[in-house]
Structure 1
Amino acid sequence: MKQIGIILAAPLLSFEAELIRLAQHMGLQVIRRPLDAAELLGVASIEPLTPVVIGSGLPRCDAAVVELLQRGDRRVIGIATTDDEHRLLNQMGVTCVLEGITPENILADLLTCVGFGEVHPQSLAKMELRESIGKGVWSTGAWAANPQGVVESELPTQEPISVAIDTHAHRDVGRVIAVWGPQGAPGRTLTALSLSRHLASMGKRVCLIDADTVAPALTVLTGIVEDASGIVVACRYAQRGSLTGQSFVQLARPIDRECWLIGGISHPDRWEELDARALKDVLNIARTTFDYVVVDVGFGVASSRESNNLLEVPRYLAASSALAQADAVIAVTQSSPLGMSRLLQELSTVESQVTGLLAIAIRQTTQGSSHEAVQSLRAYGVQQEILELPDLQAFLSPMTRIRGNRSRFNRNQRKQWRQLEHWCTRLHQGEGNTTIKVPTLANL
């Protein structure tokens, strides 16, 4: 099939996700999805010959931006859903404007403009969407079937990953688990990813969301390099009131069987694009579609008290919003003395914003055993449930995944995974709705 790449910069287009899905099945690859004019210019500079498709609502886009894009005989195509949007794009200097109210009509004209020939919209409307990720791809669904220089027989053999999600199926409301940790890289992202994949291996539908406004890294860690800030797009849909279960699913990328990812912000400097109020609506939609929603949040937590300090940075409002909406929060820390100290300094602030279950997860380091860390926390009066995490690096290892998730784990690590499983099971069944756990000899 003929393949042509485009840059799509229409973040406010109501049917953007459906347009991308249809385009992929017709061989039109959306290689970048900039969210404003500044990002579009940056992407265009490294893709000098790629056609650009823009919407009228692209932030900070004007005639000067369009003029820069059109240099070097680049094709700039506009998308409009109303006559006013059509006129606005013409005023900015876009001569080729496609107008339509459905993704099928827009895509049919777009395919003609970029050289696919004439395509009738009805043929797109009747086209059955098949699963596009699976045969011959890696677990992230983001890499080519046979990368250059790699012998196909050397790739891990596995069954295709299903990306179809029945959003109309009746299911219980899912649970939201926020993964937090103090400053100092205690392993928040690694824990969130491992927990998501482990829950998926238990047959649960899991959505992993990167809501870290300090150091978002899940797209890089999972190998999804072309993700365009799915959480930002979801928040914008929520602000307009157009976010549904179906549109949310279309933003998710499969990273494993029964496990999907909503990527975070494209750069830490763009934390303002993650709206904390809209994040509440995003999580509510996510919990109606998935069994578990795991949210990776940054270390910062906004103050729960009203402040008149004009210099106070609202960067951590997203983390606070996720903690307040979560049914359970896992506070990740390392077993080292420094890790314990950082956790104890922030624990009271986090606890004041958590409305659900709060548990502490300890990652063992060479500077201290997890058992000693548990004793230290109990000595300081910490009463929350404490979970000892297994070797997460081994769990995510490709060799471990080929041989089976638990084949390399020793008896102690299997016990730690069972402890985490039981905690998640109690959470899903609605047990343990308090953050206080009375210390006993069994958990000391």
Structure 2
Amino acid sequence: MALQVFTAVTGAAWESELVGELDRADHGVTVVRRCVDVSDLLAAASTGVGQAALLSAELRRLDGDTVARLAEAGVAVVGLVDPGDERATTRLRQLGVARVLPADADPELIAQALREAASGAPAPAGRDVGDPRAALPSLGVPPDPADRPSGRGRVVAVWGPAGAPGRSTVAVGLADEAARLGVSALLVDGDVYGGVVAQLLGLLDESPGIAAAVRQAGAGSLDVASLARLAWAVAPQFRVLTGLTRADRWPELRPQAVGVVLDEARRLAALTVVDCASCIEEDEELSFDTAAPRRNGATLTVLEAADTVLCVSGADPVALQRTVRALGELRGVLPDVRPVLVVNQVRRGPVPGDAPREIAEALSRFAGTEVTAFLPADRRAADAALAAGRTLAEVAAGSALRRGLQSLAAQLTGADVPRRRRRGRG
């Protein structure tokens, strides 16, 4: 049976000839509808008649959300661009179109790409378009960092249960300490319920930040240079992409576009730290309406794409119980994610006896997860940093919490912690 295909190729003189060639029986492809715009294409996809779509980069109002909705409808996508148009090729791939061919390709090759896309076969690796960082000497990113020979940085998602276990404090501290260890860092506020990174660092929360980056990603225009412009340069090796100014703007963070932002972040910085919201449940009402945004979709996208998921837990019995439940929920939603567990705010009192040992045993028994690091409670240092809108390293360099975050940053990045100088005897 021939593959049922939609086309949405606009502004091209070769469209009619191509459709005629594809309709030939020996190609195994039948064009069932020639769509005039995105709305027409999405309406056709919702009927369940077609299994693949052939579209051009010039299609009006084409964005990453359109490609994602086609995928949800079971319609695979193949893109066509004018021969030699690298910019259009890059844009389509950024929107999520894995297979992009020149319009003058042989019809049989185009038909084969449609059949492979519909079958779910992995797309061939795209041709390297070069690293734009080479043209950006002012970004503060080493041209050839030793810890990133492939040119792709690592993403660390800082996540954890509700109840203020200190996720944002840990995220800010990790990014800052990594930068101080010589690793270029980008801190992203991805909390869709109440991001506070801008406030913690004394930055203007009206800056474009992640919302603007996601908009550009959805339109296929985000690149490493534009992402660098949208992020605050807090220090030569430390950039910050601020979060949403209001929680009711969460629909702006489309999961597909958030994934594109992370891809560009990997090219901008050796380490990207994302401060995530705690909630990861899937709304049952929205799950039946694939066209509607999901509030927790951005968080799930970050957790799934991250190289390391850092689960931050509090150190009191209530926080530990929440952590056990949260880890169980994470396993149910993303079974392939193996979080690294960090216990924050460790102090005497809430847990009797040897608190780290008791906490480690409880989490191992009830959550089946070993604790990687314990961070001490240091209220005086944390309050001083919050009051000043600065990092712990700036206001309390010798605090126990700062040293713990420095050690954790070194562990995650592989960087060496500088030895502390001992005071001479006088």
User: So what's the TM-score if we normalise by structure 2?
Assistant: 0.55
Structure 1 position 268 matched with structure 2 position 251: no
Letter in structure 1 aligned against 2:143: A
Distance in 2 between residues matched to 1:189 and 1:380, nearest whole Å? 25
Aligned in 2, Cα 1:314/1:304: closer, same or farther, shift over 3 Å?
Answer: closer
**1:16-95 to 2 correspondence within 5 Å?**
none
Deviations 1:405-431 (A, max 9, x none): 3x3439xx84x4565245313599xxx
Aligned in 2, Cα 1:210/1:402: closer, same or farther, shift over 3 Å?
Answer: closer
Structure 1 position 300 matched with structure 2 position 279: yes
Distance in 2 between residues matched to 1:226 and 1:400, nearest whole Å? 20
Aligned to 2:29: none
On the 8 A contact 2:189/2:197 being kept in 1, the answer is yes
SS at structure 2 position matched to 1:254: strand
Distance in 2 between residues matched to 1:354 and 1:290, nearest whole Å? 28
| Partner of residue 166 from structure 2, selected from 187, 195, 220 | 187
On the 8 A contact 1:167/1:245 being kept in 2, the answer is no
1:370: Cα distance to partner? 3.5
Structure 1 position 337 matched with structure 2 position 317: yes
Aligned in 2, Cα 1:357/1:403: closer, same or farther, shift over 3 Å?
Answer: same
Aligned in 2, Cα 1:291/1:167: closer, same or farther, shift over 3 Å?
Answer: closer
Distance in 2 between residues matched to 1:400 and 1:277, nearest whole Å? 34
Aligned to 2:262: 283
Distance in 2 between residues matched to 1:316 and 1:399, nearest whole Å? 28
**1:72-221 to 2 correspondence within 5 Å?**
164-165=138-139, 169-171=143-145, 172=148, 173-221=152-200
- What RMSD over aligned residues (CA atoms) do the two structures have, in Å? 3.4
SS at structure 2 position matched to 1:295: strand
Distance in 2 between residues matched to 1:359 and 1:373, nearest whole Å? 15
On the 8 A contact 1:324/1:354 being kept in 2, the answer is no
Aligned in 2, Cα 1:206/1:307: closer, same or farther, shift over 3 Å?
Answer: same
For structure 2, the 5+ residue unaligned runs are 1-60, 62-136, 417-426
Deviations 1:205-253 (A, max 9, x none): 1000001001111111111125334101101111111111100000000
Deviations 1:297-338 (A, max 9, x none): 101114499985569982111100000010001111111111
Structure 1 position 367 matched with structure 2 position 350: yes
Higher relative contact order (Cα pairs below 8 Å, separated by 6+ residues): 2
On the 8 A contact 2:343/2:373 being kept in 1, the answer is yes
Distance in 1 between residues matched to 2:258 and 2:335, nearest whole Å? 16
On the 8 A contact 1:302/1:314 being kept in 2, the answer is no
| Partner of residue 424 from structure 1, selected from 401, 412, 416 | 412
| Partner of residue 373 from structure 2, selected from 367, 382, 387 | 387
On the 8 A contact 1:182/1:299 being kept in 2, the answer is yes
Distance in 2 between residues matched to 1:232 and 1:403, nearest whole Å? 30
On the 8 A contact 1:302/1:317 being kept in 2, the answer is no
Distance in 2 between residues matched to 1:258 and 1:354, nearest whole Å? 34
Aligned in 2, Cα 1:203/1:354: closer, same or farther, shift over 3 Å?
Answer: farther
On the 8 A contact 1:179/1:296 being kept in 2, the answer is yes
On the 8 A contact 1:229/1:266 being kept in 2, the answer is no
Distance in 2 between residues matched to 1:230 and 1:399, nearest whole Å? 19
SS at structure 2 position matched to 1:361: strand
On the 8 A contact 2:216/2:222 being kept in 1, the answer is yes
| Partner of residue 238 from structure 1, selected from 211, 217, 232 | 217
